[in-house]
Structure 1
């Protein structure tokens, strides 16, 4: 007779599955992107070529954001390690980009700090819900739109637009759209975060009341 422990799924089960390999590749890509972005300097002042390279790597990493999750679901290769690493890869890309941008004076620190508080807080809450046996609440549309606006805004920020936009008015419009998208992403970030907390608390209260009955 097999014990319950023998039925437990190890964190390393399926570590070499194709979806997980995609996740590892994304994390490595983020690390390479960070090194190049930092080397390029503020607004690409050290090297326009490196800034372009960083922008292209960011766009590739952001475009493959959902690829590993889609593969895992389509081919029934969802693993515990994948559940752990996929959100880490997602947040590593956007949060590290914001931190470098703020260090370079390209994004206000208060904007980055608010993003970090929300992303870290919600990630910790998700793991807490899983650890206590609760059901993970999927991201809503606001959260998905947040990610879209954030990735487009940061991608536009990284692109050295001044290398191909020579008209001052056009460059100002480009900068306005970039900042607008980042602020819209921040609003959606805080809104979806508050909504997620509300839904988790509501679900936990409902479960507690059902248990009492």
Structure 2
């Protein structure tokens, strides 16, 4: 698990406005979560048409995830809010889908619990280190999102036969990526808390105070 070199285009801009198109797409993705939930759970999805509509709404919502980030980077509209809200919107959408699929007995509960535990843990990690900086999505995290979305979409669709059997392998790949990237985020969070500007300043202040609480300039100079 290695850190990905920061993308200059993904660095939050001090001139970027909070109200912009990328952030609007992120909020739209959050807004359609209840609509998707109703379509997925309506009448226990006994009607295949409902499943197709739910899959369509899910797919369109996932597309907003693709384009809000792309637009933000290309137009210099990356904001701290967007970097934090974007993964939360993703988790709300996929979490609703996973729980719904398990309620409908289309997906084992242990898969849903494992994935949601990782997603909640990563979200808490982001808030834990928010004073030190924002942990941007890694390449592994983005790959996880793509495979996870594909797997969920396949489970939402009323598939039968070989394709229905093959979707389990896609979900297994998504589960593996979910767990591996979760460990990577733990490593990155711990590294950020240790190496951020805030952490370095705090460490320098402790060294300056010394063991007796007074500055030891001669020791620092000699070192």
**TM class by smaller structure:** 0.7 to 0.9
* Contact 2:84 2:134 survives alignment (8 Å): no
CA contact (8 A) 1:33 1:54 kept: yes
**Corresponding residue of 1:187:** 176
SS in 2 for 1:107: coil
Partner residue of 1:36 out of 36, 39, 61 = 39
Report what 1:64 is aligned to: 64
Contact 1:150 / 1:182 at 8 angstroms: preserved in 2? yes
| Higher alpha-carbon Rg | 2
User: Which residue of 1 is the match for residue 98 of structure 2?
Assistant: 98
- Alignment TM-score, normalising by the size of structure 1: 0.78
Quote the offset at 1:209 in angstroms: 7.5
**What is the rounded CA distance, in whole Å, between the counterparts of 1:141 and 1:78 in structure 2?**
17
Render the CA deviation track for 1:97-141: whole Å, top value 9, x for unaligned: 0001111111111111111111011011112211x2x23333333
For the residues of structure 2 that align with 1:104 and 1:149, how far apart are their CA atoms?
21
Look up the match of 1:127. Answer: 127
**1:55 is the counterpart of 2:44:** no
Residues 40 and 48, structure 1, Cα contact 8 Å, conserved in 2:
no
* Unaligned segments of structure 1, at least 5 residues: 1-12, 163-170
Residue of structure 2 in register with 1:166 after alignment: none
What is the root-mean-square deviation in Å for CA atoms of aligned residues?
Answer: 2.2
Q: Shift of the alpha carbon at 1:75? A: 2.0
Distance 2:87 2:123 in 1: 8
Match of 2:20 in 1: 17
Residue 3 of structure 1 is matched in structure 2 by: none
Distance change in 2, residues 1:78/1:140 (3 Å)? closer
Q: TM-score, normalised by structure 2?
A: 0.75
Count of matched residue positions in the alignment of Structure 1 and Structure 2: 187
SS in 2 for 1:161: coil
Aligned to 2:145: 147
Q: Can you list the C-alpha shifts for 1:149-192, whole angstroms capped at 9, x where unaligned?
A: 11111111111124xxxxxxxx1x21222111111111111111
Task: Provide structure 2 residue ranges, at least 5 long, that are not aligned to the other structure.
Answer: 1-15, 208-223
In 1, Cα distance between equivalents of 2:142 and 2:68: 16
Mapped pair 1:199 → 2:188: yes
Out of 160, 168, 172, the residue aligned to residue 158 of structure 2 is 160
TM-aligned CA distance change 1:148 to 1:104, over 3 Å: same
2:99 paired with 1:85: no
